[in-house]
Structures are given as structure tokens and as C-alpha cells.
Structure 1
């Protein structure tokens, strides 16, 4: 799947919402890209995303037995919910929309399948040119 973004990832600042996703890469970045495609996020989403990144890291750490890899959709829903990601702007019960979203995109997060996501963006290069206009209508580039 191709997800189009409207910024250059190299220009992210540490306080930008997407920063934790691009720093972590992998499942966190995939989650952010697919989630942002369907849901509006609030000012707390960056914090939830950073928490999700930490959980993904701990999940694959063989020495960390407190966070085990999820094995099915229900466990994944609980996994993301534990980070405060509920699919709506209210920090309440899991929304039906988010559960439907997880089912739709499960193959991207299923640890046995791991479908790919491609991020597509365009980088505009800044060009600094001067156009000189004289009083008699001739133009020259400097």
C-alpha cells in the first residue's frame, strides 16, 4: 500500500507529531501512516505514539517478559488501547471505527504476515533566483 504524505521526513523536528514514528520506524511508522490516513489526532497522539513505540521495542526484546508479542486482533486492540489510542478524540472505550480499522489492516500488523507500507512524498528544492526588470522592458537573470 502507498500512503502519501505532504512533508519531507528529513525536516521533522523532535516536537512534531510524526517524529517518534520516523525515529522508531518499523511497526510504529507503519501504524502512524495507516492511522493518520483514517483518523484525526489530537494533541495527545504524539505521546501515545511514543508509548506504542516503546511497547513495540519491549515486545521484541527477548529479555523483557512483561510485554509479550500479541498473537491476534483482540490482543493487538488491547495493545494499542493501553497506549491511549482509541480511534476517537475522547479517551474512552475503543471506538467501533478503530476496531473495524484494525480488522481491515490486520495483515499489516499481524506478526506472521507483515504486509508493507510505502510512504510517498515529493521534495521541493528551494531555488533562489533574481529577475532584474529594467525601465525599458528588458529582463535579465542574475
Structure 2
């Protein structure tokens, strides 16, 4: 049986750096957005205009400065049983009212932020280990211990 050709270590390591950088950025964004609602969130009421097939709630509300907003409530931040035309209490980020909205009837959750944190840590540990193993395999094949 013929061995497969291995990817270059530098390419594998470079892709690993990109993966870690992307997950780090996603983690930072998720935590920043979640904490923004806690730090500077504004409470108001919103009218439900649509409930999607997976329970995603679309709402309309007016910001404290009078801007009409139409947006989705954050994934996992909506209460069960919400119906079209219901009026629900929400918290929104006044800096990003179209992207950061939470139904205040639901306890704060940071599931996505914790998930991206876990993936970042997994990549930070796993990619160097996998790169080291790849480098060892390259050395072993070059030394003739295993012929392709």
C-alpha cells in the first residue's frame, strides 16, 4: 500500500494560525456583544412581526432617540411561545440596535460565546500538537524509516 503525500509543515502551521486567529476574533466579538447588553443595554418593548420556523423572533421597536428598528432577537435569546403581534420586553444595545437584541423574559445566556471560546482553546492546543506530529512524520519519512 502506498503512503499518501503529507502536506508541508509550514502550510499546515500557517493554516492553523489563520484558524486560531478567526476563532479568537469570533470569540472576542461574541463576548463583546454579550457584555454590551449587560453594560449599556436599554430596556423597551417590541412588537413581534414574525416567528420563523426555528423559533427565530423578528421584532420592531423604536429606540430612545426615535429611530424605528426592525431586527431579529438574538439566537437563544427568545422565549418559547412567542407569537406574532405579541408585545415583548427587550434589551437592545443603543450602539448596535439592529444586531444586539435580547428578550428580557429569558435569562442571559452566553452559549455561543462559550462555544467559540472552547473552539479557540481546542485550536490553540490541538493545532500545535498536530503540527508537531506532522513534522515528526516528515522527519521519519526523510530518514527512511517509512518509505512512501
TM-score w.r.t. the length of structure 1 is 0.32
- Structure number with greater Rg is 2
Q: TM-score, normalised by structure 2?
A: 0.31
